[in-house]
Amino acid sequence: MEIEGKKVNIDHSQHIDHAHHPIHHAKQVNWMKLGIAVGILAVIILGIFWIVGINNGKNIAAGDTAQIAYTIKYDDKVISNTTQLQIGSIAKSFGFLTDKLDSELGNLSLNQEKTITLSAADAFGEYDSSKWIVEDRTSIIGNTSIQEINRTFDISPADFSQVFGENPVLNKAYPSNTMILWNTKVIAVSNDTAKLSIENPKGENLTLDKVRIVEIVDVLADKIKVRLTAIPQIVSTASGNYTIIIDGIYIKATWTPTVGDDIAYGYGTVKVLSYNETSVVLDGNNPLAGKNVTITLKVASVVKKVSTSSSASSSTPTPKIPGAPTAQAFVFAYCPYGLQFEKALLPVYNLLKSKANIEIVYIGAMHGPFEEKESLRQLCIQNIYGEDGLMNYLAQFDINSAIGNCGGADSCLNPLISDIMSQQGIDVDKINTCMQNDAPALYAADEATASSAGVSGSPTFILNGAQVNVNRDSESIKKAICDAFTTQPSECSQTLSSTASSPGFGADSSSSSSGTQCG
Instruction: Tell me: do 124 and 163 sit in the same domain.
Output: no
414 and 514, same structural domain? yes
Are residues 246 and 295 located together in one domain of the fold?
Answer: no
Residues 495 and 397 reside in one and the same domain: yes
What pLDDT, on a 0 to 100 scale, did the predictor assign at position 514?
60
The pLDDT score that the predictor gives to residue 52 is 36
| Residues 102 and 227 occupy one common structural domain | no
Q: Are residues 322 and 296 part of one domain? A: no
Strands 223-230 and 147-150: antiparallel
Query: Do 343 and 350 touch, CB atoms closer than 8 A?
Result: no
Taking the alpha carbons at both ends of the chain, their separation in whole angstroms is: 59
Distance CA 102, CA 258 (A): 39
Q: Quick one: 91 and 155 in the same domain?
A: no
Q: What string of DSSP letters covers 400-448?
A: -HHHHTSTT-HHHHHHHHHHHHHHTT--HHHHHHHHHHTHHHHHHHHHH
What is the DSSP code (8-state) at residue 56? Answer: I
Which of helix, strand or coil describes residue 61?
coil
37, 58, 79 - which closes a domain = 58
Q: What DSSP character marks residue 458?
A: B
Closest to 288 measured CA to CA, from 113, 513, 498, 505: 505
pLDDT score at 55: 39
Show Cβ contacts of residue 196 under 8 Å, excluding neighbours closer than 6 positions.
152, 153, 154, 155, 174, 184, 185, 186, 187
Q: Which of 167, 164, 165 is nearest to 182 (CA)?
A: 164
Q: Final residue of a domain: which of 267, 283, 299?
A: 283
The confidence score (pLDDT) of residue 515 equals 66
Whether 277 and 412 share a structural domain: no
The whole-number pLDDT of residue 135 equals 92
CATH number of the domain that 106 lies in? Answer: 3.10.50.40
The last residue of a domain, from among 21, 42, 58:
58
- C-beta atoms surrounding 358 within 10 Å: 26
- Which residues constitute the domain of residue 10? 2-58
The domain total for the chain is 4
The model's pTM: 0.53
In three state form, how does the secondary structure of 173-194 look?
Answer: EECCECCECCCEEEEEECCCCE
Q: What is the pLDDT of residue 318?
A: 60
Residue-level pLDDT at 112: 85
* CATH number of the domain bearing residue 510: 3.40.30.10
pLDDT the model gives residue 36? 40
Q: What does pLDDT average to in each consecutive run of 10 residues of the chain (519 residues)?
A: 38 37 39 41 38 44 80 85 78 82 82 91 91 93 93 86 85 86 94 92 91 94 94 89 95 95 75 95 88 90 58 53 89 91 94 93 86 93 91 91 83 89 90 89 84 85 89 92 92 90 78 67
The answer to whether residues 349 and 390 touch, using CB atoms and an 8 Å cutoff, is no
Nearest to 384 by CA among 304, 308, 311: 311
- Assess whether 151 and 45 both reside in one domain: no
Residue 267 CB partners (closer than 8 Å, separation 6+): 334, 335, 336, 339, 367, 371, 404, 504, 505
Residues 161, 163, 166, 170, Cα dihedral to 10°: -90
Same domain, 481 and 491: yes
Q: Are 39 and 73 in a shared domain?
A: no
Torsion of CA 431, 433, 434, 439, to 10 degrees: 120
Whole-angstrom Cα distance, residue 475 to residue 484?
14
Could you tell me if 508 and 373 lie in one domain?
Answer: yes
Q: Which of 344, 330, 325 is nearest to 482 (CA)?
A: 325
SS (H, E, C) 212-264: EEEEEEEECCCEEEEEEEECCEEEEECCEEEEEEEECCEEEEEEECCCCCEEE
**What pLDDT score does 81 carry?**
78
